[in-house]
Amino acid sequence: MATRLSVNINKIATLRNARGGNLPNVLQAAVDCEHFGAQGITVHPRPDERHIRYADVRALKPLLLTEFNIEGNPVDSFISLALEVCPHQVTLVPDAHNAITSNTGWNIKKHERFLRDTIAVLKAKNIRTSLFVDANADMVRRAADTGADRVELYTEPYAAQYIFHREKAIADFIRAAQAAQAVQLGVNAGHDLNLDNLAYFRRCIPSLLEVSIGHALISDALYFGLESTIHLYLKQLR
């Protein structure tokens, strides 16, 4: 089964915002990523709009030909944006308002009712939903009770341990992916996946549907160019 590559373009927006104006052009970059072979575009708008802006999300929807994934903390403004834009997928992430980047998955036991109600609103608009979760088999099984279609496994712990002991690093993720399959949830993954650790992750989790990669991919593009970098990542997923 093929695993789709969704390119997170937040870092391109960060660079644009550093100087103001429209260089680099976030919309053109997203279209170029698709042209170079990316099978999806991911954005993660935050309330302070420090990278992707809500206006970017609205402008991207009519331009994209592949899958559009919007991820973020389901505060009221985020949910309103998602319902307005109606992307293919919304990934709910429990970001603290001051978090530099996503750094933990949902405690679904604690937030199950809130997540169930939120997901019902999104699914009423035919939006596929995914929950950002740690590699915890019990938490993955609980995700099915919320009505979510998929989970996105938070892979920073895997990436951090991969260089020391890759078999140990992947073990919890294999169990989490197996738990997802048992309750008929699709499996996505993201955070700190890169050209060094992606192929092994994909090989060990053949049920993997989609990876969302931004920071590492855009950093690699500084050396290899955007088109060549996307091809390199696609190669790791074959």
**Residues labelled as active-site residues:** 44, 71, 191
Identify the CA nearest to 151 among candidates 162, 135, 174: 135
- Amino acid letter, 159: A
The tokens describing 158, both together, are: 């895997």
Q: What is the DSSP string of 112-164?
A: HHHHHHHHHHHHTTT-EEEEEE-S-HHHHHHHHTTT-SEEEEE-HHHHHHHTT
Gap between the Cα atoms of 228 and 115, Å rounded: 39
Gap between the Cα atoms of 177 and 154, Å rounded: 12
- Amino acid letter, 214: G
Gap between the Cα atoms of 8 and 109, Å rounded: 29
Gap between the Cα atoms of 16 and 36, Å rounded: 21
Q: 85: part of which helix (H) or strand (E)? A: helix 76-85
Dihedral over Cα of 48, 54, 55, 61: its sign: positive
Gap between the Cα atoms of 201 and 153, Å rounded: 11
